[in-house]
Amino acid sequence: MPGGGVKNARQELEDIVKALQLSVDFSPEVLAETQRWIANPHIDDPALVDFTATPFVTVDGEHSKDLDQALHVAREGDGYLVAYAIADASFYVRPGSALFAEAMKRGASYYFPGFSVPMLPRPLSEGLISLNPDGDRRALVFLHHLDGSGALKSTELKRSRVRSRAKLSFGDVQKLVDAPDASPLKGRDFEGSLMLLREVGRKRMDLAAKRGLIRYRREEVSVQLDGEGVSFAVMEAVRDEVESWNEQLSLMCNAEGGRLLREFDNPAVQPIYRVQGGPEPERLDSLARLTVLVAKHQSLPTNPWVWNQSTTALANYLGGLPRGAPGSKEERLGAALTRQAVMVNLRSEYSTEPGPHVGVGAEPYARFSAPMREMVGVFLHKEAVELLTGNHPTVEEDEKLRGEVVQVANKARATQRRVQDLANEVVMNRLFAPELTKAPKERTRFIGTVMGLTHNKVHVRLDVPPLDVKLYLFDLAPYFDGAWLEPADEGALLRKKGTTTSLLLLGQAIQLFVARRDEKTRRWIFSPER
């Protein structure tokens, strides 16, 4: 820093941007193309189907600026017509252009506490392409025809012109459906659509549950910059019911988009799929044994704590676990067992070959819904337009490009995980460094839950702030008389080697304080309060 100043949290995060060779800025060529599109956006294209009379709205996070999707739900006979509009990024981001080359270089948008590194220039991703309620936009509209139970009958795809009526948050819509008379949205031309969103969303969720789709109880940690430091806010991954309903429409759109591309009888249409194989049987067997051993060691009843694979679907078992009050034994153990169930899953990836995505319960599945934030979305929209228009590049050219996009997309996912890890390190340094200025007895006692026990570490989720920390057995040994520690019984407990007495149990509360920082490994070392 000039003058030897100490970096603040924002500057440390910006160092990560540079270290990962990401860039907030765009080249003059990219910016020039952007300005040309803004000057002549082709929204009056006569080839577009006019949906501007349909009162679409966007429903997203309160602070979202890149609005990819807009929705409208109407009755259709005894069933429903769900119109789902997705921003038409591929019209502006074309192969051979500077914008396309830059998007390929970036692969995706990357998200840091307090800011993002966008894939596309903000005048496009937050302006011209974004489905903002300030005028007409180009969009790819999926028309889903559903029966009275919410089951899909057919889907049509239209390249269209739309006009969003409002930028709504999940909370805005939840307040409307919960108490219509008190909502400022009452009487708007989209009110009926949002009320039907509740009907369709719940019916789609019921159908997913009948298929055995698992909906994990998760918390997503939101970290914001707060002056020179950081602050934390915890929100449920599905905070309001409306977020779940909206998610169902997005999943349906992605699944149907993948199906339409796969079934189109033309080798010039080149789909990219998101695939996730099912858990290996051995890992499911191990999870089932773990629940038996947890119940045994914690003197818990078989129902609801033990998972019987032969009689109960994993989704039903997890859904039946007691929630309990925050911080209760039931709540902590339920969270730990859910985490263990999550860990049996394989990681999803992008592929040129169709396959199941067990996490969303669809085959095939393609990520159409984030075309301004993911390069794969731009490519899929391009392929969908080729399906509609019949205008195709050569098969060889497109096949080569598809392979490159798959590589870029998978690399981008790995980069985002790296961003998360490095950003978490900045957050933890800011949080825990002040503890070392205090005497050990005066340091903050952090309460958390033992979420997992593996061969060399204990995984703990802190209550406040809601962070995951790792306790390595080598570092814990001195606090247990220097004993050789080992997990036992499928990870149900931690014990001293050669003994049967448990020192820690999966799901139990644990109190920790910061002991030191290992600069060589860049790890914070925690000590248990005994």
Q: Which residues pair with 162 in a beta bridge?
A: 137
Place of tokens 């180009």: 138
DSSP class of residue 496? E
Give CA–CA dist 198/377, Å, rounded: 27
Give CA–CA dist 422/443, Å, rounded: 25
For residue 114, the model assigns a pLDDT of 81
Residue 464, token pair as written in the block: 């406040």
Which ranges of 140-186 does DSSP label H, i.e. alpha helix? Answer: 170-178
Give CA–CA dist 368/375, Å, rounded: 10
- Nearest partner of 388 among 83, 141, 145, 154, judged by Cα: 141
Q: How far is CA 432 from CA 273, 426, 446, 494, 516, in A?
A: 41, 10, 11, 26, 9
For residue 235, the model assigns a pLDDT of 39
Give CA–CA dist 526/516, Å, rounded: 7
Give CA–CA dist 506/448, Å, rounded: 12
Other residues' Cβ atoms within 10 Å of the Cβ of residue 186: 11
Strand ranges (E), 114-182: 115-117, 136-146, 152-169
Q: How far is CA 229 from CA 297, 428, 466, 509, in A?
A: 42, 11, 16, 28
Q: Which residues pair with 136 in a beta bridge?
A: 163
Give CA–CA dist 84/246, Å, rounded: 10
Q: How far is CA 351 from CA 95, 182, 271, 326, 403, in A?
A: 20, 47, 9, 40, 9
Q: Which residue type, as a one-letter code, is found at position 74?
A: A
pLDDT in tens, 292-307: 999 999 999 999 999 9
Residue 507, token pair as written in the block: 């799901």
For residue 63, the model assigns a pLDDT of 82
Total number of residues shown for the chain: 530
- Helix/strand/coil (H/E/C) assignment for every residue in 99-120: HHHHHHHHCECEEECCEEECCC
Give CA–CA dist 440/444, Å, rounded: 9
Cβ–Cβ under 8 Å, residues 401 and 379? yes
Average pLDDT, consecutive stretches of 10 residues, N- to C-terminus, the chain (530 residues): 64 93 96 98 97 97 91 98 97 97 97 91 97 97 98 97 97 95 96 98 92 65 62 49 93 96 90 93 96 97 96 89 91 95 92 92 93 96 93 87 97 95 89 94 96 96 90 91 93 94 96 95 90
- Helix/strand/coil (H/E/C) assignment for every residue in 281-314: HHHHHHHHHHHHHHHHHCCCCHHHHCCCCCCCCH
For residue 130, the model assigns a pLDDT of 97
Give CA–CA dist 392/388, Å, rounded: 10
Residue 465, token pair as written in the block: 């702030």
List the domains of the chain with CATH numbers. Answer: 2-259 (no CATH), 438-528 (2.40.50.140)
Distance in Å from the first CA to the final CA of the chain: 42
